[in-house]
Every structure is written in structure tokens, then in C-alpha cells.
């Protein structure tokens, strides 16, 4: 698995570098008094060249390195793992957090997401409710009242 990971990393670096170089090739040239000087593509292109060299280095090292004796687990086995499920659930919740608080408002949206995540991580219902409420109070007091940063009120217009 480690060797495969490194191999993918090397290929990813080269792919990123090629994409950057292709995109940079469309950038305008920087010409002053007929002389071509370093333009917007100059720095990203240099960095891409370094990335391509590094990518090949990673691939060569991965191919020269030892493959772990343990065979890789089937993909579905990974999904059954409680810890990996947590990672995926957390990421999903973080991604939907912004639309949720835009819709329900910061207070209600944060309460629901925080509560669900804490319960999923086995923090217990009572503790999850108390910590979620405390967290919301601290954030509202600090950000909205002290720093005057407006937090979303949502369609229900719930605010402190």
C-alpha cells in the first residue's frame, strides 16, 4: 500500500505540474521595449519543472522500494471501518455545514451538526447537548458581539 501510495503521489505531482504548465502557456507574454521579460507564467513554470523532477524521483523511489507483504484490503472493507466512516461523515458534515447554517441560521445549524457529530463520536447525548449549547454561546458572544462579525440568521431569522 505504501509503495502504491508513493507511486500515486509521484504521478499526481507530474500531472499537477503538466496542468499548471498548460494553463500557464496561455498567460500573456511580458514584453517591455521589444524585450521579453519574466511574465506571469515565469514562476509557475519554474515550480512545475521542479515538481516534475520530484514526481519522477518519487516514482523511481516507489518502484525501487519494497512492497509491503500485507495484501491491500478490498475497498468495501475500508468503508466498513468505524474510524474511516467517521472521517467520511465528518468531511460530509463540514462540507454541508455552510449551506446548513445559511438555511437554518448559525445557532440552529451549528447545534444540529455539532450534536450529530458528537453523538456519532460517542460523546453521549447529555454532554453533546451541553457542549454544543456552550460552544454556540461562546462563538456568538465572541464573534458577533465582540468582533461584530455577522453570523448567518437563516430563513427563520434566529439570533441572540
Partner 1 sequence: MSILKVFEPKILIPWILAMGFGIFVGGIPGLTATMAVALIVPISYYMDPLAGLAMILGVTFTAIFAGDIPATYLRIPGTPASGAAVLDGYEMSKKGKGALALTLDLICSAIGGFIGVLLLILVAPFLAEFALRFTNFEYFWLGVFGLSMSAVLTRGNTIRGIISAVLGLLISTIGIDITTGYPRFTFGNVELMGGISFIPAMIGLFGISEVLKHVRDRRHLMAPSISEKMSVSFKKAFPIVWKNKWTILKSALIGTFVGALPGAGADIAAWVAYGVAKKTSKNSEEFGKGCEEGVIAPTSANNAALGGTWIPALVFGVPGDTVTAIVLGAMLMYGLKPGPLIFQQSRHIVEGIFFIALISQLFLLLIGYFGIKAYKGVLRLPRNAVLIMVAIFSIIGSYAIRNSFFDVYVMIAFGIIGFIFELLKVPLPPMILGIILGPMIEDNLRVGLIKTGGNFIPFLTRPISAVLITLIILIFFGGNILRLIGRILRGGRRNG
* Nearest to partner 1 of 20, 108 (CB atom): 20
Q: Is 18 in the site for partner 1 (CB under 8 A)?
A: no
Taking CB under 8 A as the criterion, the residue among 22, 60, 79, 95 binding partner 1 is 95
Annotate each residue in 96-135 with x if it binds partner 1 (CB under 8 A) or - if it does not, as one string. -xx---x-------x--xx--xx--xxx---xx--x---x
- In angstroms, the CA 92 to CA 84 distance is 12
The three cell numbers of residue 103 are: 438555511
* Interaction of residue 34 with partner 1, rule CB under 8 A: no
The string of DSSP letters for the chain reads -HHHHHHHHHHHHHHHHHHHHHHHTTSPPEEETTEEE--TTHHHHHHHHHHHHHHHHHHHHHHHSPPPSSPPPPHHHHHH-HHHHHHHHHHHHHHHHHHHHHHH-HHHHHHHHHHHHHHHTT--HHHHHHHHHHHHHHHIIIIIIIS-PPPP-TTTT---
22, 27, 77, 141: residue in contact with partner 1 (rule CB under 8 A): 27
Q: Rounded to the nearest whole angstrom, what is the least distance from the CB of residue 74 to partner 1 in the complex? A: 18
Which residues make up the interface to partner 1 (CB under 8 A)? 5-6, 9, 13, 16, 20, 23-24, 27-28, 30, 32, 35-40, 42-44, 47-48, 50-51, 54, 57-58, 82-84, 86-87, 90-91, 94-95, 97-98, 102, 110, 113-114, 117-118, 121-123, 127-128, 131, 135, 139, 142-143, 147, 149-151
Amino acid at each position: 500500500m505504501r509503495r502504491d501510495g508513493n507511486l500515486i503521489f509521484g504521478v499526481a505531482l507530474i500531472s499537477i505540474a503538466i496542468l499548471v504548465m498548460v494553463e500557464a502557456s496561455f498567460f500573456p507574454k511580458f514584453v517591455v521595449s521589444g524585450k521579453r521579460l519574466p511574465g506571469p507564467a515565469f514562476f509557475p513554470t519554474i515550480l512545475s519543472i521542479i515538481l516534475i523532477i520530484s514526481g519522477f524521483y518519487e516514482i523511481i523511489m516507489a518502484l525501487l522500494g519494497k512492497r509491503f507483504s500485507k495484501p491491500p484490503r478490498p475497498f468495501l472493507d475500508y468503508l466498513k471501518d468505524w474510524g474511516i466512516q467517521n472521517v467520511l461523515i465528518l468531511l460530509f458534515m463540514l462540507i454541508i455545514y455552510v449551506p446548513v447554517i445559511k438555511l437554518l441560521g448559525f445557532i440552529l445549524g451549528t447545534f444540529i451538526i455539532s450534536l450529530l457529530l458528537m453523538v456519532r463520536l460517542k460523546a453521549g447525548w447529555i454532554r453533546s447537548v451541553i457542549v454544543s449549547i456552550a460552544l454556540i454561546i461562546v462563538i456568538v458572544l465572541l464573534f458577533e458581539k465582540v468582533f461584530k462579525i455577522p453570523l448567518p440568521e437563516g430563513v427563520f431569522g434566529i439570533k441572540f
